[in-house]
Amino acid sequence: MNGSATAPRRGRRGWAVDIGLFLFAAAYGVLMASMRLEAPSPPPRWLFNLDQLTGALGCAALWLRRSRPVELALVLVALSAFSELVAGAMLVALFTVAVRRSPPTTMAVFALSLVTALGYVVLRPEPGTPGALLLLLGVTIQGAAVGWGLSIHHRRRLVLSLRDRAARAEIEAHLRAEQAQLHARERIAREIHDVLGHRLSLLSVHAGALEYHPDAPAEDVARAAKVIRESAHQALQDLREVIGVLRAPVGELPQPTLADIRQLADESGRAGMRVDLSEELTGAVPDRAGRTAYRIVQEALTNARKHAPGAEVRVRVAGAPGRGVTVEVCNDAPAPVP
């Protein structure tokens, strides 16, 4: 398609096409030679021999049609001004230019071939045959060769365009899949952090209490062990839910709502925290707002458990239609370590 002079490597199909075009050019030349010999006024012997030599050289030069299509076409077009036996090779050269070069280049070479066709009619008129008829016949045959080549040229460009478009679409789809996978991983990582962080903080606090108070009463040890067991069990349940969603072909991770804040506060209370929850809500709360409020309270309770153990935590959740949802979490100073 481009103007490069590098000959493409011939495959089996390329060799078959080249041989077929060579045989066509040779057969066309033989046909023209037989018609010339049977004409009422055949050409002189020397001119006929020169014409045969030119036609044979033109057919042999078709070997260069892939690497030098324009140069070959210009030479054969010029020779066709006086040699009719080179016409077959010239048609193949015109066809090749139309297939392998841009349409403007093709039309320029085709225009030159029309000029040489007119020159041939003037230089070697056929007795008893109108020159206009010969010119019309030559223009028709050359136009057919060029038109066929242009159709192949445009079809190849269309195929290349479709292949390129398909390749780009495949790359874009791959990138979209990678992006979606990345977003899914980030979402799952956040979910695991939010869900398991709260449970594991309970485990850490009570395990630390047992470590610092190995001589605690048996009831306190049993109560702490129970909280550790329940928190570990609940953490495993949450982890199973996340893994279940990962294994499923389609699905969303189970999301908490605003109604689950009470359960979150009760769970923290059973773990030994002092949580005072106040809910001042009127009207329905959108799921996204409720989920965000839940995560805020969950993270706040986790931080209070880590950094202010033993302190009372006051949670206030208020909201009304048109005013949004307000979450307030505050705690006293950490209790002194005995």
Q: How far apart are the C-alpha atoms of 92 and 200, rounded to whole Å?
A: 81
Q: CA-CA distance, 210 to 197, in Å (whole number)? A: 20
When the candidates are 3.40.50.2300, 3.40.50.1100, 2.40.50.140, 3.30.565.10, the CATH number that belongs to 256-338 is 3.30.565.10
Task: Quick: pLDDT tens for 269-302.
Answer: 877 788 888 888 887 888 888 888 888 888 888 8
- Phi-psi map region of 76: left, alpha, beta (phi>0 left; psi -120 to 50 alpha): alpha
What tokens does 190 get? 């956040």
Higher pLDDT: 119 or 4? It is: 119
Euclidean distance between the first and the last CA atom of the chain, given in angstroms as a whole number: 87
* pLDDT for the residue numbered 107: 93
User: Which of 100, 45, 41, 53 shows the shortest CA–CA distance to 72?
Assistant: 100
List pLDDT tens digits, range 170-224: 888 888 888 887 887 777 777 777 667 767 777 777 677 777 777 777 777 777 7
Sequence-separated (6 or more) residues with CB below 8 Å from residue 319: 280, 281, 282, 283, 285, 289, 325, 326
Give the mean model confidence (pLDDT) for residues 70-75: 91
Mean pLDDT of 246-250: 55
Q: Counting every residue, how long is the chain? A: 338
Q: What is the mean pLDDT of the chain?
A: 79
Query: Rounded to 5 degrees, what are φ and ψ at 301?
Result: -65, -40
The percentage of residues in the chain with a pLDDT greater than 70, rounded to a whole number, is 84
Residue 250's pLDDT is: 46
Kindly give, in sequence order, each residue whose CB lies less than 8 Å from that of residue 76, ignoring residues fewer than 6 positions away. 58, 61, 86, 89, 90, 93
The DSSP-derived string for 300-327 is HHHHHHHHSTT-EEEEEEEEETTTEEEE
- For residue 206, which of 83, 306, 317 has the smallest C-alpha distance? 306
Return the minimum-mean-pLDDT range out of 85-94, 164-173, 241-250.
241-250
Backbone φ and ψ of 319, nearest 5°: 180, 160
| pLDDT tens-digit series, residues 137-164 | 888 888 999 999 999 999 999 998 888 8
- HSE-up of residue 249 (Cα within 13 Å, Cβ side): 0
Write the CA distances from 87 to 30, 45, 50, 205, 278, integer angstroms. Answer: 11, 19, 14, 98, 100
Q: Is 117 exposed, middle or buried (0-12, 13-18, 19+ CB in 10 A)?
A: buried
User: Percentage of the chain surpassing pLDDT 90?
Assistant: 10
Domain residue spans in the chain? 12-129, 256-338
Say what the pLDDT of residue 5 is: 42
Of the ranges 27-41, 50-64, 102-116, 167-181, which one carries the lowest mean pLDDT score?
27-41
pLDDT at 127: 63
Tokens of 224: 């702490």
In this predicted structure, what is the pLDDT of residue 42? 64
Q: Which pLDDT does position 105 carry in this prediction?
A: 92
Q: Which one has a higher pLDDT value, 108 or 228?
A: 108
Q: What is the pLDDT of residue 242?
A: 67
Nearest to 94 by CA among 105, 106, 78: 106
Q: From the CB of residue 13, how many other CB atoms can be counted at a distance below 10 Å?
A: 8
Higher pLDDT, 326 or 248: 326
Which range among 68-72, 115-119, 147-151, 190-194 shows the weakest confidence by mean pLDDT? 190-194
d(CA 322, CA 156): 62
